[in-house]
Amino acid sequence: MKRNRLLSGFLVLLLMVFSFGSMAFAEGHMAETVVDIAVDTEGEFTILEAALTEAGLVETLQGEGPFTVFAPTDAAFEALLGELGIEAEDLLAHPQLEEVLLYHVVSGKVMSSDLESGDVETLLGETVEIDASLFTVNDAEILVDEELFDLEAENGVVHVINQVLVPDVFELDYDENGDDDNGAEQNIVEIAQGNEDFSILVEALVAADLVSALEGEGPFTVFAPTNDAFAALLEALDIEKEDLLAHPDLEAVLLYHVVSGEVFSTDLEDGMEAETLQGEMVVISVGDDGVFVNESEVINADIEASNGVIHAIDQVLVPEAFGAEDEVDDVDGEEEEEDTPATGDIGMLPFVIAGAAGLSGLWIAKKRKA
């Protein structure tokens, strides 16, 4: 009898050990990001991992999210390489690599049980077609039989697919010299996606759901703060990126960086005033020390797009209508006041180009001082 009791006690202890072990494993798995899943799945995603690193998207997909990632296997990438007649190194150097990768990511956490048939917008701005009955994304199959779906992460979920998804903007006829022949054939959004200095801007466009509008006819002139300018603003305000993107005056800031029409640097004159889509004016200064928009210096001019032109600037433009003491909710649900930098302060990068997005039909007049 005593032996049976000891045996029973041992079995209970063993079950407890396994139970706690399983819980620890689950917690460890959920601590991973969607990027960690790709990295830790040995032999399946080596090309995807290299592509994310090359495109500078690792940090983005390690963010809060949540994200749903349709992850092509190495076999899927190799099939694409065969179709293009290039090597993996060529694909990693392709000027539109980032666009291809963003086409595989959807905002939000969508488990397989939540999939619905229809079009879903990706972080690129183009849509993919989901067939929930067949578990397909465009023509790619989610590897359900191999149980490579619902790979849950702390910041989203990964579904493995057997083909690389290729967006409409991607040119399959790859230039072996690595040159980007699109030039002015690319719109403002496409240029931002292909420029590392505007990687945060791409996130903002997606978050604001402004990608499609900014791909419109225009034309627009965009004064675009760089990533460094954006980072400086976050530091100055002592807030996180998510807080800035959720600011109630986001739209006003966006529109203040966009002018209707195509204005190149050769068209700028000292003292010129231009009305922005926000309604307030910006003042242009031209001198021996450079070209300035309010207090922000133009550091890269005349980035020509098919629907306008981009001028990169080193500080954020803040309109007068932007509240000096805007109220935001703190973590306790109480309202606190947040100081706002004066016009021309650093970094509200994402909002810059995004502003043109929603208002592609508006016409704004440039004005010059008499």
CATH number of the domain within which 38 lies: 2.30.180.10
Place of tokens 């290729």: 166
Whether omega before 95 lies within 30 degrees of 0, making that bond cis, reads no
Which is more confident, 351 or 297?
A: 297
Same domain membership, residue 321 and residue 190: yes
Same domain membership, residue 221 and residue 117: no
Lowest mean pLDDT among 232-236, 258-262, 362-366: 362-366
> What's the token pair of residue 282?
């910006």
Band the pLDDT of 41: cuts 50, 70, 90: low
The pLDDT value recorded for residue 194 is 84
Which is more confident, 369 or 311?
A: 311
183-209 average pLDDT score: 77
CA nearest to 156, candidates 213, 191, 106: 106
120-138 average pLDDT score: 92
Lowest mean pLDDT among 85-89, 277-281, 297-301, 331-335: 331-335
Band the pLDDT of 165: cuts 50, 70, 90: very high
Band the pLDDT of 78: cuts 50, 70, 90: very high
Same domain membership, residue 225 and residue 83: no
Same domain membership, residue 281 and residue 356: yes
Q: For 24-53, give one letter per residue: b (16+ CB within 10 A) or e.
A: eeeeeeeebbbbbbbbebeebbbbbbebbe
Q: Which helix (H) or strand (E) holds 12?
A: helix 2-30
Which residue range forms the structural domain that includes residue 204? 185-368
Same domain membership, residue 216 and residue 146: no
Counting residues of the chain whose pLDDT is more than 90, the rounded percentage is 27
Would 115 be classed as within a structural domain? yes
Same domain membership, residue 194 and residue 123: no
Same domain membership, residue 362 and residue 271: yes
Same domain membership, residue 255 and residue 106: no
289-301 average pLDDT score: 92
The pLDDT value recorded for residue 370 is 37
The pLDDT value recorded for residue 174 is 43
Same domain membership, residue 334 and residue 265: yes
The pLDDT value recorded for residue 336 is 45
Would 296 be classed as within a structural domain? yes
The pLDDT value recorded for residue 342 is 44
Counting residues of the chain whose pLDDT is more than 70, the rounded percentage is 72
> What's the token pair of residue 144?
């359900």
Which is more confident, 181 or 199?
A: 199
The pLDDT value recorded for residue 37 is 83
153-174 average pLDDT score: 84
> What's the token pair of residue 251?
């739209």
- Residues near 24 by Cβ (< 8 Å), separated by ≥ 6? none
The pLDDT value recorded for residue 142 is 95
pLDDT, the chain, mean: 75
- C-alpha span between 149 and 18 (Å, rounded): 25
Which is more confident, 91 or 24?
A: 91
Band the pLDDT of 366: cuts 50, 70, 90: very low
Would 18 be classed as within a structural domain? no
Domains in the chain, number = 2
Same domain membership, residue 112 and residue 223: no
pLDDT digits (tens, 9 = 90+) for 298-353: 999 998 999 898 898 888 888 887 653 454 444 334 444 444 444 444 334 333 43
Band the pLDDT of 17: cuts 50, 70, 90: very low
Same domain membership, residue 198 and residue 324: yes
Q: Is the pLDDT of residue 137 over 90?
A: yes
- C-alpha span between 219 and 267 (Å, rounded): 15
Kindly provide the residue ranges of all beta strands, DSSP E only, lying in the chain, ordered along the sequence: 67-72, 105-107, 118-121, 127-131, 136-137, 140-141, 151-153, 156-161, 220-225, 258-260, 272-275, 281-287, 290-293, 296-305, 308-313, 325-329, 335-339, 366-368
The pLDDT value recorded for residue 6 is 43
Same domain membership, residue 105 and residue 225: no
246-257 average pLDDT score: 77
Lowest mean pLDDT among 200-209, 233-242, 352-361: 352-361
> What's the token pair of residue 207?
């978050």
Band the pLDDT of 175: cuts 50, 70, 90: very low
Q: In Å, what is the CA distance from 19 to each residue of 22, 31, 90?
A: 5, 18, 48
